[in-house]
Structure formats: structure tokens, C-alpha cells
Structure 1
Amino acid sequence: MQSFLTEEVKELSKYNIDIYGLEDKQYDYDMESGDAFFQELEQDLIEHGSFKTHVVLNKSATMMQLNFQTKGTVTLICDRSLEPFEEPVDSNERIILKFGDHDEELTDEIEIINRNTNRINIARYIFDFIALSLPIKKIHPDLRDENDESDPLDEEDGVLVYSSGDEKGVIDNEEEEKIDPRWEALKKLRGE
């Protein structure tokens, strides 16, 4: 059991960056991982994959800017066929960490971290950027065609029409057109 825990801690500890005592300049880090990275994080989106990330950290007295360039592949499950397939990942994102009195996320791109923080772990950022680079619809490459890329609202069958007219009148007219002729005799008896 002890060796299993050591491996888990070891996997995510590769993404630790000691920031205490760093001079105000640029630093470069290269990180590479595979299935163990995705299995270690508590998430259900990606189980398998491999990637390389190049991180450029620019430190100043008041903040750090981290640029992440990630390339690799992940295994996804097709939404249509439920078959696994390889999806390429190519992400170029950044995050800004400002030094302050507490930890707080201001925006998707800017966070405040306590100025007494000794170490940051960037595994969460890398995973988030990989997840954001994935397509919304996970379709196997063999099933993709030009129709998958088009907007369904642009197709003739899916055109949205706005009408400010009386909806009840429209519905009544449609119902009258759809009435079976055999029921016409009953309508006459009711006096309609």
C-alpha cells in the first residue's frame, strides 16, 4: 500500500513549482505525462492520453504569468458509436497569478495567491486547458462529415421562425386542416 501512495504523490508532484526565492525573470519547464496523470485527478472526462507541456513562467514582484503550450493525444468515447478514438490536443493558454493576502479566483485567467505561498502545483491548470481544447461533440473521425461542423439552425429543416401573430389562430387553422373528413358530419351536429 505504501508504494502505491508514493506513486500517486510522485505523479502529481512532477507539476510542483517552487516559487519561493525565484528571481524576477523568465523560467522554462518541460513536463510530460500519460494515463497516470488523468487517473490521479478526480475527473471522468479523460481516462487515457499522453501529452507534453512547455510552461514559460515570467515572475515579477507582484505577479507571475504562466504560458502553457500542450500537445498530445487523449482517448475519448464517441457520442454516437461509443467507440474509443484518439483526439489530438493542441492548446496554448495562459494564467496570471497575482500575489495578495488570500487565495481567490478573479476570472478564468487571473487568480490571487497568498504572497507567502512557497509552491504551486500546475496539474489542475494543465488538465483544465486540455479539457477546454476538446470538442463539445465527441465524434469518431470515421463518422465526421461536413454536416457535423455546420450549425443545425442554418439547415433548411432547422430554421427558426419568429411570429408575432395570434398563436391560437394559427393552431386552430392547422387543426382544421388536419381534421379527418369523416368527423365533419359530427362538427355539423354540434353546430360548428
Structure 2
Amino acid sequence: MNALRAYDIHIAGLENKRHEYDFTSDNAFFAALEQDLIEKGSIQTHLVLDKSETMIRLDFHITGTVEQLCDRSLDEYDQPVDARQTMLLKFGDHNEELSDEIELIERNTATINVARYIFDFLSLSLPMKRLHPRFRNEDDEDDESTGKLVYRSDAEPEANQDDQPDTIDPRWAALRKLSDN
């Protein structure tokens, strides 16, 4: 947990204006969070904190690379990251998460830790399908082939069934008799 103390921002004494912070995160950051999604990486976060009487706006810009495991080959590769996200912290009487981007925090909160926000936004920026760069061109070709016609019948298209009312399937005729009653 000591590795995450570097992400503490003391908001109690901050003036109501714009403040900027820079954070560098490495393998120790990911290990301190006790999660399995990302184990290694090097990211830089530029945070713009805009404090007012009623709320704090946090604008994150996260760049760098994280090590991922390819879903296809199980090879490790570096996934580039470039994410921009915003978080709003509104002052209230209790702590509560209102939505993914808005949280209530108590008015007497002295310190906020932004490590969890950085990790969450970083995780959201990663692709669902983790592919080593050497496989990405192959998948692009597969996506183009999905628009091709896979099955085609050489039979002539049938005439419009409305023109031939005498060729009704007997099962439908029996059902039609029920609805006429």
C-alpha cells in the first residue's frame, strides 16, 4: 500500500482553481493494486484537477505501454495505451458512487487517492481481444471477408406467393379456419 501513497492528493488545503499533477507508474504500481489483469507496464498520467466550491473535476490523460498476453498464441507483447477520461467528485454528506464518472465524497475529506481511477481508466482502454501485433493484419483480412456471399442457390427465385392463392400449405389452411371462427 505504501507504493500507492504517491497517488494521494491533499485536497483540504487546495485553493479553488486548476492544479496539475504528473504520475509515473511501473510494475510496483500494478503489484500494489493486487489484481491479475496487468502485471507489468510503464505508464505516465497527466492529471488536471479543477477544484470548485461544490465539486472536483479530474481530467486524466494516460499514456504508455502495458504487457499483455496474446489470446491466440499466449505470447507476451507490449500494448500501447493512450486514454483520456474525466471523473467528477461532488461534495456531499456521505461517500457514494453515483455513476461510473460521478462520485459523492464527504465535505471533510482531506485526501483522495487517484491510483484506483488511473487503473480503472487504463483497464477500460485495453482492447477486449488481446492480439499480438503479428496477428492483427490477419484479423483485418478476416473482417473484410465477412461481407462475402457464403451460400448461393442456383435455383430460380419463386414467383410471388400472393399471385398463387391456390397453393396454400394445408397446415396454414387449418389454422386460418380456426381464426375465421
Percent identity of the aligned residues?
Answer: 54
Count residues with an aligned counterpart.
151
Q: Gaps spanning 5+ residues in structure 2: where?
A: 152-181
Which residue of the partner structure matches residue 168 of structure 1?
Answer: none
In 2, are the aligned partners of 1:152 and 1:158 still within 8 Å (CA)? no
How far 1:147 sits from its partner (Å)?
3.1
How does the TM-score come out when normalised to structure 2? Answer: 0.78
Measured after TM superposition, the shift of residue 152 of structure 1 is 9.3
Cα distance change on mapping 1:16 and 1:143 into 2, 3 Å: same
**CA distance in structure 1 between the aligned counterparts of 2:142 and 2:107, rounded to whole angstroms:** 48
Looking at structure 1, the residues matched to 65 and 7 of structure 2 have their Cα atoms a distance apart, in angstroms, of 19
Aligned pairs for 1:2-17 within 5 A = 9-17=1-9
Cα distance in 2, alignment partners of residues 53 and 150 from structure 1: 35
Larger proportion of helix: 1
TM-score by length of 1: 0.73
The answer to whether the Cα contact below 8 Å between 1:89 and 1:133 also exists between their aligned partners in 2 is yes
1:154 Cα deviation (Å)? Answer: 4.7
For residues 158 and 68 of structure 1, do their structure 2 counterparts lie closer, same or farther at Cα, with a shift above 3 Å needed? farther
- Hey, what does 2:11 align to over in structure 1? 19
> Where do 5+ consecutive residues of structure 1 fail to align?
1-8, 160-192
Instruction: Let me know the Cα RMSD of the aligned residues.
Output: 2.1
1:183 counterpart residue number? none
User: Given residue 36 of structure 1, which amino acid in structure 2 is its aligned partner?
Assistant: A
- Residues of 1 paired with 2:15 and 2:124: CA distance? 32
Task: Indicate conservation of the 8 Å contact 1:79/1:137, yes or no.
Answer: yes
Alignment of 1:91-110 (within 5 A): 91-110=83-102
Equivalent residue number for residue 133 of structure 1: 125
The answer to whether the aligner puts 1:64 opposite 2:22 as a matched pair is no
**Does the Cα contact within 8 Å between 1:66 and 1:96 map onto a contact in 2?**
yes
Q: Which of 108, 115, 132 is matched with 2:107 structurally?
A: 115
Distance change in 2, residues 1:26/1:109 (3 Å): same
Residues 158 and 47 (structure 1), Cα distance of their counterparts in 2 relative to 1, 3 Å cut: farther
Return the offset for 1:144: 1.0
2:67 to 72, 75, 78: 75
Give 2:134's aligned amino acid: D
Per-residue CA deviations over 1:161-184 (Å, capped at 9, x if unaligned) read xxxxxxxxxxxxxxxxxxxxxxxx
Distance 1:115 1:149 in 2: 54
